[in-house]
Structures are given as structure tokens and as C-alpha cells.
A and B are shown apart, each in its own frame.
Chain A
């Protein structure tokens, strides 16, 4: 079973600055890594798949990188609506696994 670990649990950044969120897999998932954004009271929304491909309609300030076991979600020039929770998820192996989430808060 693959375990996904996100860091940090909470990240404090000022609006307009860059945020870097990390996700580590306990074994290689190749590039089968997705990132989701979840706003309060809403369902998750797909941001990134294939580790680095933006989903339809996702702004260019969101970018993903990495492969194997180390992945990064970068949000450049943070907007007010970006201060929510982000999850990574591997879809390489069964069972599917999510990280525990990173909450992005305003500094």
C-alpha cells in the first residue's frame, strides 16, 4: 500500500507571493499523481493530473512538477480564493491514496 505524505500541514503565505506544496509517495508512482483543491463546504476539484498537466479551466498560476516519489504543486502570485486546502493523490496502485492535505492560509 502506497502512503502519500504532504508537507507542510499548514502553509502561511502572503497574497501575491508564491506557495510551494510538497507531496511524497512511499514508493514510486511514476507520474500518476493528481492534485485537488477543496474549498470549505465544497467537493474537491481537479487541478493537476499526470503530475504536471493542468486540468481544463485551471489558471496558469497553478503548476505541478515531479515524478517517482517527490512532487510539488506551485501556486504563483496567490489570489484570495487560493487560500484553501490541497490534496495530492496517487493513481498508480490499488488502493488509491490521498495525502492528508495542506491548508494554505493567509500570512
Chain B
């Protein structure tokens, strides 16, 4: 059974950094692209970033470009999101999601349960 489990969320001050992790199991992690998607409390879904199966291709939303970095360690079946220069508007639940294709060109067929990041002084 495919499973994604996020961790690393918490309360952080504006301007500080945080790294989220997403542990994958039940599928060949190294064969699929991966994404981060976020959702502010009571709001809709916002795509954040994507990475190809081999880590060579990365894509970002304009709202996080230059501040967030997506990466993966296929030996550990883990996806990461390094978030720097955090702002109040980054306060959301962050989901990792599995792409149906290796190059992140498809739909999201498996989602984690999410981890909450709160940016507050």
C-alpha cells in the first residue's frame, strides 16, 4: 500500500528556516516524480514545487521561488522541502504528493496526511 508521511512542521518565527520531510513507502520511490502542495486553513490547494524522479528537474511556484528548495534522497525514500525566509503567508498545511509519472508531468495519485507550518513571532 502506497503511503506518504510528512514531518517537520511546527511554529517558526518570520525570516527563519524549516525543513519538511516526506517518507515514502509501498512503492518504488525512485521511479516517480514528487510534489509539495499547501493549503492555508479553510482555503484551497496551492501547488508549491515538484521534482523529477532523479532529482535533476525541479519546478517552483512563483510565491516560493528563491526561498524554498525541493530535494529528494532516493536511498532513503524521502522527499524534502527546505523553506527559508519564511513569511506569515507561508502558514499552511503542507502535503507531499506522488506523481503518476517519473518526470512529474502527471496527476497526483497519492497524498500524505499533511504537516502544519505556522509562521509567527
Contacts and interface: CB of A to CB of B under 8 A. Distances in A.
Is B a genuine binding partner of A? yes
Interface of A: 32, 34, 36, 38, 42-46, 49-50, 55, 87, 89, 91, 94-101
B64 to A, nearest CB: 10
Contacts of B46: 98
A95 B62 contact: yes
User: DSSP class of B's interface residues: helix, strand, loop or mixed?
Assistant: strand
B72 to A, nearest CB: 18
Nearest to B93: A43
A6 B110 CA distance: 23
A55 B44 contact: no
B113 A91 contact: no
A100 B95 CA distance: 17
Given A44-B45, A87-B44, A94 B107 contact: no
Given A43-B111, A43-B114, A91 B105 contact: yes
Contacts of B62: 95
B47 A96 contact: yes
